[in-house]
Amino acid sequence: MQLIDGKSLSKKVQDYVKSEVEILKTEKNMVPGLAVVIVGDDPASHAYVSMKEKACKNVGFYSIAHKMPDTITQDEIINIIMMMNKNPHIHGILVQLPLPSHIDTNRLLEVINPVKDVDGFHAYNVGRMVSNLDSFVACTPLGVMKMFDEYEIELEGKDVVVVGASNIVGKPMASLLLNKNATVTVTHIHTKDLASHTRKADIVIVGVGVPSLIKEDMIKEGAIVIDIGINRLESGKLVGDVDFENVAPKCSYITPVPGGVGPMTIAMLLENTLHSAKQFGEKI
């Protein structure tokens, strides 16, 4: 069994981004800029935004967080996004999810200029990704693909089960795998007998937010398990969606929680923002 170390790979990506930022500063007098919109006071969302701000500072990005009360109207948020669309110093815009119930999430995401949609959630980028065209891709699935590349894990012809069908993780994950010629089964909360699918899989990727959902008897010997879930138990311990202690001995590769997929999400956000800045730089 080999651990897939997302923490060290994330550092490798961030070191690359940092070096590229220095080149942009020197050759084009440009600093990549990332703007975050956060609404309300959800502690987990604010923690994520703080981590993103710290990562931006580490690689030399300009970053700004528009922190708004949950009483703000949808039109007010749209106006702020449109202002950032026009700002030449902002190359990436992301809206921290989830949003309060009175806000139409899809409407907000579609207001973002697709060339600044570094979260890869705009329908334009989703459509291009599904068509295997160049696009911004959702950061968590993109991070998983980066892991497969780093550890030279072949996907072509592999039977892969994706547990979870969200627009943020499950659906883009399945599309990226299909683009690599894997055979993909997508399961979700309405799937009957989940174990009958996962037991046959060469690779299981799970991200649904249910602690220890994937048990030892649901995985075949030598399988690769990617755990995207992150859950905080009453004890304060962070765990994934996989019963790691019992599943790990059966795996050829497995991601830990924490230290697996999580760090890769922010690394891919930085890489996407760098890519956006470079595209902008080519136009000036």
62: tokens are: 């300009």
Q: How far apart are CA 178 and CA 61, in angstroms?
A: 33
Q: How far apart are CA 32 and CA 46, in angstroms?
A: 22
Beta strands in 96-234 (DSSP E): 159-163, 183-187, 203-206, 224-227, 231-232
User: Where do you find CATH 3.40.50.720 in the chain?
Assistant: 139-261
Catalytic site includes residue 119: yes
- Alpha-helical regions (H) of 162-260: 170-179, 194-198, 244-247
Longest CA span, the chain: 57
User: Where do you find CATH 3.40.50.10860 in the chain?
Assistant: 28-115
* Position 183, amino acid: T
Position 280 scores a pLDDT of 81
pLDDT tier for residue 248 given thresholds of 50, 70 and 90: very high
Position 44 scores a pLDDT of 83
pLDDT, tens digit (0-9, with 9 covering 90-100), for 143-176: 999 999 999 999 999 999 999 999 999 999 999 9
Summarize the confidence of residues 197-222 as an average pLDDT: 97
Position 170 scores a pLDDT of 97
Rounded to two decimals, the pTM is 0.95
Q: How far apart are CA 239 and CA 256, in angstroms?
A: 9
In the set 5, 14, 96, 241, the catalytic residue is 96
In the set 52, 116, 158, 171, the catalytic residue is 52
CB 142 within 8 A of CB 183: no
pLDDT tier for residue 284 given thresholds of 50, 70 and 90: very low
Q: Hey, what CATH class is 139-261 in?
A: alpha beta
Kindly indicate whether the domain formed by 28-115 is annotated with CATH number 3.40.50.10860: yes
Catalytic site includes residue 158: no
Position 281 scores a pLDDT of 63
Q: How far apart are CA 243 and CA 274, in angstroms?
A: 36
In the set 5, 117, 119, 202, the catalytic residue is 119
Position 43 scores a pLDDT of 85
Which helix (H) or strand (E) is 39 found in, with range? Answer: strand 33-39
pLDDT at 89 over 70: yes
CA distances from 268 to 60, 137, 261 (A): 15, 9, 11
Summarize the confidence of residues 23-28 as an average pLDDT: 94
Position 236 scores a pLDDT of 86
pLDDT, tens digit (0-9, with 9 covering 90-100), for 114-142: 999 999 999 999 999 999 999 999 999 99
